[in-house]
Amino acid sequence: MPNDDVRLTALLSVLESLDTEASTTERGDLDLLDTAELIRRMNAEDRRVPVAVAERATEIASAIDGITERFRRGGRLIYIGAGTAGRIGVLDASECPPTFGTDPSMVVGLIAGGETAIRSAVENAEDDDEAAAASLRDLDLSASDTVVGISASGRTPYVVGGLDYARGLGALTVAIASNAGSAIGAAAEIAIEVVTGPEFISGSTRLKSGTAQKLVVNMLTTLSMIKLGKTYRGVMVDLLATNEKLHARSIRTVSQLAGVGVDEASVALRAADGSVKLALLMLAADASPEAAASALVDADGILRDAIAALG
């Protein structure tokens, strides 16, 4: 049997064993249902996802603690994935700077096939088990960084190769998969295997698997940023006001958290050069911009600690 046929036979065998690729007889009539019933059934499947994510809380917490510790010593969080999984990593990384005021290099998303693959499929990119390692090498990956590999099947060669390379350098490695006993889980130090079961449309892992991946990456960045002091009383205080909406949100945040009027909040923000966190500290402690900035540095950027120190 030719080598290509052998590989295809082996791949078919693997796919048959994956929950995410399974078909169920109860969905054989989807094309015959009315829209309301389709919505009911799809929503019922989607409701399984948060439950499955909650079952992996211990592993997610370990990943968050490890990511936060590395952030504190200057490390980065780097996502690697192909297709939908890669796009979810890129999306999460791209949203961190405006939400948390982070440098774009702090959270990075790498996708098999490069920038083109964000919008279009790149043939065979996910099968290149050396490409992620090459990209990580270009980023000067170190033991201070975290690499999170995302793959619904849990077997994507691009992700396995990247995790192997990262773990060899001593970086923290985390895997997010939708099947138990995954190859990427075995390659990583922490395996977050959120088993979401067969997809509403068999094999379409942009559905429940993609939703699970989005929920998990939301936790990884959001909760690590909370631990770094990027929020205060449940509100973003390190956001970058890069548009009119965010500028208005900054004023509203300072007004509400400091208990002052919009005009006073605007004045404080101007004096703080647009920094919500600095404006809040100035108002809370009746401090100058210079004194407040110094206190924030001493408090490692944690507003609550800085307020206590100046109080």
pLDDT value, residue 239: 85
Q: How many CA atoms lie within 13 A of 120 on its CB side?
A: 4
Q: Which of 181, 212, 227 is the last residue of a domain?
A: 227
For residues 271 and 288, the answer to whether their CB atoms sit within 8 Å is no
Residues 76 and 186 in one domain: yes
For residues 161 and 130, the answer to whether their CB atoms sit within 8 Å is yes
pLDDT value, residue 185: 98
pLDDT value, residue 87: 97
Q: Do the domain assignments include residue 61?
A: yes
Residues 195 and 291 in one domain: no
- Which two structure tokens, joined as six digits, stand for 105? 């290099």
Residues 193 and 238 in one domain: no
| CATH number, domain containing residue 268 | 1.10.8.1080
Q: Which of 176, 200, 227 is the last residue of a domain?
A: 227
Q: Do the domain assignments include residue 177?
A: yes
| Active-site residue, from 95, 193, 244, 264 | 95
Q: Do the domain assignments include residue 18?
A: no
Q: Which domain range does residue 153 map to?
A: 48-227
Task: Identify whether 115 is a catalytic site residue.
Answer: no
Instruction: Give the burial string for 68-78 (b: 16+ CB within 10 Å, else e).
Output: bebbeeebbbb
Residues 222 and 264 in one domain: no
Residues 99 and 184 in one domain: yes
pLDDT value, residue 202: 86
Q: Do the domain assignments include residue 299?
A: yes
- From first to last of its 311 residues, the chain has per-residue pLDDT tens of 456 554 555 444 455 556 655 556 466 688 899 999 999 999 999 999 999 999 999 999 999 999 999 999 999 999 999 999 999 999 999 999 999 999 999 999 999 999 999 999 887 899 999 999 999 999 999 999 999 999 999 999 999 999 999 999 999 999 999 999 999 999 999 999 999 999 999 888 999 999 999 999 999 999 999 999 999 999 999 988 889 999 999 999 999 999 999 999 999 999 999 999 999 999 999 999 999 999 999 999 999 999 999 97
pLDDT value, residue 5: 57
Residues 219 and 136 in one domain: yes
Task: Identify whether 126 is a catalytic site residue.
Answer: yes
Q: Do the domain assignments include residue 300?
A: yes
Q: How many residues does the chain have?
A: 311
Residues 216 and 238 in one domain: no
Q: How many domains does the chain have?
A: 2
Residues 206 and 238 in one domain: no
Q: Do the domain assignments include residue 15?
A: no
Q: Do the domain assignments include residue 30?
A: no
Predicted TM-score of the model (pTM):
0.89
Residues 198 and 91 in one domain: yes
- Which two structure tokens, joined as six digits, stand for 166? 């990262």
Residue spans of alpha helices (H) in the chain: 3-16, 35-46, 48-54, 57-72, 83-100, 131-138, 157-168, 183-187, 208-227, 244-258, 262-271, 276-285, 289-298, 303-310
For residues 19 and 179, the answer to whether their CB atoms sit within 8 Å is yes
For residues 77 and 71, the answer to whether their CB atoms sit within 8 Å is yes
| CATH number, domain containing residue 111 | 3.40.50.10490
Residues 159 and 272 in one domain: no
Residues 84 and 200 in one domain: yes
| Active-site residue, from 21, 45, 126, 199 | 126
Q: Which of 227, 258, 279 is the last residue of a domain?
A: 227
Residues 138 and 71 in one domain: yes
Instruction: Please enumerate in sequence order all residues whose Cβ is within 8 A of that of 126, keeping only pairs 6 or more positions apart, or say none.
Output: 82, 83, 112, 113, 156, 157, 158, 159
Q: Do the domain assignments include residue 4?
A: no
User: Which of 288, 311, 307 has the alpha carbon at shortest distance from 296?
Assistant: 307
